[in-house]
Amino acid sequence: MKIKIFLIFCFIFVLTRFGFSQNNVTLEAKNIPLKDIIRAIENQSNVTFFYNDNYLDLSKKVTLKVENKSLNEVLLILKESASIDFAFMPNNLVIIRPLNTQKQFRVTGKVIDNAAQPVVGVIVTVKGSSRAVVTDALGDYSIFVNPNDRTLVFSFIGMKKKEVAISNQKNIDVYLETMISQLKEVVVTALGIKQDKKALSYSSQQISSLDMSKGNDLNFASGFSGKIAGLELRKSTSGAGGSTKITLRGEKSLYGTNQPLFVIDGIPMENSQFSSPVDFWGGRDSGDGLSSLNPDDIESLTVLKGANAATLYGSQGANGVIVITTKKGKKGKTTVSLSSSLTFEKATDLPKLQYSYGQTAIGSLDSWGAKGSYNNNAKDFFDTGINSLNSVSISGGNDITTAYLSYSNSSSNGILPTNQFVKNNITVKQSTKLFGDKMTISSNVMLVDQQIDNKVLNGYYWNPLTGLYLFPRGLDFNKYKNEYQIFDNNRNLMTQNWPVSIDIQQNPYWILNNNSNTEFTKRVIGHLELTYQLSKDILIQARGNYDYTQQTFEQKIKAGTNPVLAPPNGRWVYDNYYNSQKYADLIIFYNKDFGKDFALHSILGTSYEKRINGDGLIVDSNQDGLTIPNEFFFQNLKTAPDLRSVINGRSIKESVFSNLSLGYKEMLYLDLSARNDWASTLAFTKNQSYFYPSAGFSFLVDKLIKLPKIIDFAKLRASYSQVGNEVPAFFTNPLNTVNRDGLILNTEKPFTELKPESQYSLEMGFETRLFNNRLAIDASWYQIDNKNQFIPLDAPAGSGYTRYYVNAGHIQNKGLELTLTGSIIKTSAFNWKTEINYSQNKNKVIELDPSLTGRFNLGGGGDGFDMFIEKGGSIGDIYVNAFKRDAQGNLLLTDDGVPIKDIVSKKIGNANPKLMLGWNNTFSYKNFAFSFLIDSKIGGKCVSMSEAFYDQYGVSQRTAEARDQGGVKVVGIKTDGTLFSGIVSAQKYYTGIAGRDGILESYVYDATTIRFRQMSLTYSLDFKNKHLFDNMSFSLIAQNLFFIYKRAPFDPDLTIGTGNGVQSVESFCLPPTKSIGFSMKINF
């Protein structure tokens, strides 16, 4: 209790003002509520009153007349007339308490619905007073009443209000009846506007903070999988702090981003990356803006699908919008929340490698040697990862000011030795009402400090997994583990100890200790908002937001590293970037009811946004190296180092927008929106401004037509929108650059003929609730057409340019989404709630520029893997080196019977699934709750570069089995036209088709997966204000426990990067992991 009191007074200290005022008070009030008198005294005396409205009747009418009286005199008079007492505290604080507290008694009880289920969030009020409480997760309440109080009032949205006489009862249980016609579900939509979901003309889904926290992943976005129809998520393999690739309703843009816009409390969030791998040689995933947020600060999350929902956000919302609503202070009792989780992570699904055939010969890279029994060096390499997330928050306030303060610490020791992650988040929010509640000033500051040591660098270079997996069998791996560096007498320093010399392979422990890297990220988000109620119908809102992120990356590559990667004295890589976003808007809201039939909700606004991405400095000593070995300082760089100032993008966008929503008898709703943007990235063109509108309607069928009793609610909706999109910075006016050798003239033709990319979106849907709201169905069909794509092409010889751009391309996505939500079992003790999310999307390239007669590369890839597009194909089509065949489909073979690689790559499928399913379940019994999530992706293809290397080096289990069987059976046509059907030695066959730039057609797999994604078991306790703690819960949590079905030798959801050109391909990535742990939450 002492701790609680201490925290309360610390919080009060933040909220109150300093200094004590002795101003006299003049006041005349006749039958005025006590609440107004208290406020008037505060305004004149500069003190702050603190009280618990559970014990104080603020609506009590009081008559008071004083003139130029001291504060003490006024309070003595008020004490008699209002039957209250006062206690003076430091820092201008006066505590108010009722004189008859000793006569009060507690009333407790439970509120249930017509299915005998507890109702959470029922407001229980003492009639005629402002004293009120809210029922908890079990439907229980507890409230103090005075002897003269007669009635309790129970109210909840969608249920009939009920009044119950107290009559000296100390336990009152209440049954509330559902009012189907008054059910209202509020959804946070564009610009943070709250709307009744039944009025929406487009599809949306919500995830609560409770649902997001079940997995306790350090990157909360990982918890989206399977919970939103139409959302696909791929996770970077770079570990904690890595980025995620999220798409809604398919990929739409060839050159731009396909990620949705993330919005925090109505403000667009900066979510770009500083760096992402685009090929197989090496690259760093710098993480994204989303990964830096504190999951425990999030109250709820709303997914607005498609451009129809996002017209008011402009081109950034063309791929859909994910609206994040964060927690804020609430008036009343000061609450403290503590949460802590600890999970243990284990590598699963390691590659199937062989340890029964040894090194080919002394000094060989591969393992095509003699049969034997050799140690498995991979199984003990990975650590047990330990992840923890601890946070504390304080929330509270009064009728005037509320505040929220939180701190969280996230840490992880990854499965890769020496990989560590630490993140600290601080959030401070406040809101103050002024001028009789007409004006509200709110502010918010979020601070992030993050450090990652030895982040996983994907690809061939700097990757410890290449040496781990390809290590020649028969040699003593432990020797190279314990002696990864040896002393070089000639150089007087330690150098790498490894039995082979090749660029893609080094001693894993040398990389971890002597090619180490560190990444620092610091971020601040500041937000200020002012709203003013100009009249009953008009509200004015002004907001400003500043989002700044700085990231420093440093890699120290010591002398002795493979000479292809570093010169003799070592190499130093240093990157220092920043992103910034300045955003401001001014919005006027006009809401008015016209009689009983019509309701109008409208907005008119303007916004300004300035973005700077990837502005910074890159230093790489490269092959010039260092003057003195292993001294990583600027002054130790050799003459004229590779030092560059860089910027990825800079843009300014100014906008005006409006929205009008008209409702008729809560049955018909019409929604109209329009926006016009002026974008700096369209400078030097004739299209610097672009306009786009949207329209939608919804019709509540059950309001007009009498439906069968089993149907509680039925709604039809449709919407159409057009959204424009500018190009990235500098396309219309490419920049010249400078390096250490002088000026480098631009060779790209300015794109002055540019037209903004346009997206046309049509959506239709149906919603219904059945069986007394026990079953809900939400179905959507959509068609999205993206036109005027911007595509880079090779410039004709002699033009003076190497590349130019054209507006070309028509990409179409069609799809279906279905969400079923049901309460399968509802009793007073046991509940079973289930949700099924189903979606399918068909992507098609309708047309490209006439000059594009062949394929267009999306960028990235290599070594026999590419993602091309062509007319009639789809974004995500995978092309690989294929077997060469004759007109009849027969394999063409060398004279030795080894298949021949075709010179033209072959389309082998698409990276995207044909359909996605998620099945989420929650079972509750008394104080226990058990939930699990199964999700699946059906269809699609994936490719493994690693498996091709395993076969070439003879280290895969497949090559051992082939040797055990005497070779590989091959049937085909030899170069001389004769038929061959026989056995080819395993070594000859696999070294002929596998490896870098090999025949990757052999390493294409079905990407279908069905996985047990998430599980939690929770026990909750509610102390009903009888103890220091209000409530607490303990949970056993698990993620990615196992695959129910998987054909690929790796997890297809893991990706080396989030770019468009490297999806569904694996290259020596970290193995998937499963995690098991526990969490605890305490509120007091």
| pLDDT tens, residue by residue, 1026-1066 | 567 788 899 999 999 999 999 999 999 887 777 777 788 89
Average pLDDT over residues 571-577: 93
Q: What is the DSSP letter of 626?
A: B
Give tens-digit pLDDT for 16-28: 333 334 568 888 8
- Which of 39-48, 167-176, 504-513 has maximum average pLDDT? 504-513
Q: How far apart are CA 53 and CA 597, in angstroms?
A: 37
Q: What is the 3-state secondary structure (H, E, C) of 764-778?
A: EEEEEEECCCCEEEE
Taking a C-beta distance cutoff of 8 angstroms, is the pair 1076, 1038 a contact?
Answer: yes
Phi, psi of 741 (to 5 degrees): -95, -5
Structure-token pair, residue 634:
């600027």
Taking only the tens place, the pLDDT of each residue in 999-1028 is: 999 999 999 999 999 999 999 988 765 567
Outline where 562-649 has alpha helix (H).
Answer: none
Residue ranges per structural domain of the chain: 2-100, 104-178, 877-910+941-1006
1046 pairs with which residues across the strands? 1009
Of 352-366, 585-599, 845-859, the one with minimum mean pLDDT is 845-859
**Residue located via tokens 């190009």:** 727
DSSP assignment string, 1033-1074: EEEEEEEEEEEEEE-SSS-TTEES-SSTTSTTEESSPPPPEE
Residue 1071 or 146, more confident:
1071
Contact criterion met (CB below 8 Å) for 103 and 62: no
- Which pLDDT does position 150 carry in this prediction? 86
Tell me the pLDDT tens digit for each residue of 943-987: 999 999 999 999 999 999 999 999 999 999 998 889 999 999 999
Taking each continuous run of H as one helix and of E as one strand, the counts in the chain are 11, 61
Q: Which two tokens stand for residue 107?
A: 């009333």
| Secondary structure element (H or E) that encloses residue 39, with its range | helix 34-45
Q: Is 667 helix (H, G, I), strand (E, B) or coil?
A: coil
Q: What was the pLDDT predicted at 309?
A: 63
pLDDT tens digit string along 148-204? 888 999 988 777 889 999 988 888 989 887 765 444 566 666 666 667 777 788 888
Rounded-to-integer distance, Cα 647 and Cα 692, Å: 30
* Residue 784 pLDDT greater than 90, yes or no: yes
The residue written with tokens 């103090």 in the block is 144
The residue among 776, 664, 666 whose CA lies nearest residue 711 is 776
Q: How many CB atoms lie within 10 A of CB 98?
A: 20
Closest to 631 measured CA to CA, from 493, 483, 487:
493
Report whether 25 contacts 76 (CB < 8 A). no
> Do residues 1067 and 965 make contact, with C-beta atoms less than 8 angstroms apart?
no
319 contacts 205 by C-beta, under 8 angstroms:
no
- Highest-confidence range of 192-196, 321-325, 892-896, by mean pLDDT? 892-896
* Cα 125 → chain centroid: 39
Q: pLDDT tens, 910-933?
A: 999 999 999 999 999 988 999 999
**pLDDT beyond 50 at 854:** yes
Residue 6 clears pLDDT 50, i.e. is over it: no
pLDDT band at 10 (very low <50, low <70, confident <90, very high): very low
Please give the CATH number for the structural domain made up of 2-100: 3.55.50.30
Q: Side chain identity at 1000, as an amino acid letter?
A: L
| Predicted local distance difference test score (pLDDT) of residue 646 | 85
Contact 1052, 1064 (CB under 8 A): yes
Q: Any idea what DSSP says for residue 726?
A: P
Q: Residue 792: its pLDDT value, please? A: 80
Q: How many other C-beta atoms can be found within 10 angstroms of the C-beta atom of residue 550?
A: 16
Task: Enumerate the β-bridge partners of residue 1074.
Answer: 346
CA 542, CA 1015: separation in Å to the nearest integer?
Answer: 43
Yes or no: say if 1031 and 1023 are a contact pair by the CB < 8 Å rule: yes
User: Any idea how long the chain is?
Assistant: 1084
Q: Mean pLDDT over all residues of the chain?
A: 87
Instruction: List Cβ neighbours of 144 (8 Å cut-off, separation of 6 or more).
Output: 54, 55, 104, 105, 106, 107, 131
Q: Which of 197-206, 627-636, 888-897, 906-915 has the lowest mean pLDDT?
A: 197-206
Query: 328-337, 499-508, 554-563: lowest mean pLDDT where?
Result: 328-337
Q: What is the pLDDT of residues 724-782, one digit of tens each?
A: 777 778 888 888 787 777 778 888 888 888 777 888 999 999 999 999 889 999 999 99
Q: In Å, what is the CA distance from 573 to each residue of 614, 638, 642, 643?
A: 16, 13, 10, 10
d(CA 240, CA 292): 10
Q: What is the mean pLDDT of residues 853-871?
A: 82
CB contact set of 2 (below 8 Å; sequence gap of 6+)? none
Q: Is the confidence at residue 338, as pLDDT, over 90?
A: yes
Q: Which residues contact 49 (CB under 8 A, 6 or more apart)?
A: 38, 41, 42, 94, 95, 96, 398
CA nearest to 1075, candidates 388, 457, 465, 454: 388
Q: What is the pLDDT of residue 160?
A: 81
- Annotate 505-528 with three-state secondary structure: ECCHHHHHHHCCEEEEEEEEEEEE
Cβ neighbours for 798, distance < 8 A, ≥ 6 positions apart: none
Q: Which residues have CB under 8 Å from 853's CB, separation 6+?
A: none
Going by C-alpha positions, the residue among 466, 262, 335, 607 that lies closest to residue 952 is 466
The CA-atom distances, in angstroms, between 236 and each of 239, 956, 1071 are: 7, 25, 11
pLDDT of res. 4: 40
Across 435-492, the runs of DSSP E, i.e. the strands, are 439-453, 485-488
Alpha carbons 573 and 516: distance in angstroms, whole number = 11
| Confidence band, pLDDT 50/70/90 cuts, at residue 14 | very low
Q: pLDDT digits over 275-295, tens only?
A: 777 778 777 888 888 888 898
Q: Which two tokens stand for residue 1064?
A: 């569904």
Helix (H) or strand (E) holding 347: strand 332-347
What are the pLDDT digits (tens) for 429-455? 999 999 888 899 999 999 999 999 998
d(CA 439, CA 1008): 55
**Greater model confidence, 332 or 372:** 372
Beta-bridge partner residues of 830: 925
% residues pLDDT > 70 (the chain): 92
Write down the CATH number for the domain with range 104-178: 2.60.40.1120
3-state SS assignment for residue 54: coil
- Phi-psi category of residue 158: left, alpha or beta, with phi > 0 → left and psi -120 to 50 → alpha: left
At 945 the three-state DSSP class reads: helix
Q: Is residue 1069 pLDDT above 60, yes or no?
A: yes
CB burial class (10 A; 0-12, 13-18, 19+) of residue 448?
Answer: buried
Position 15 scores a pLDDT of 36
761: alpha, beta or left, given left = phi > 0 and alpha = psi -120 to 50? beta
Q: What is the pLDDT of residue 17?
A: 34
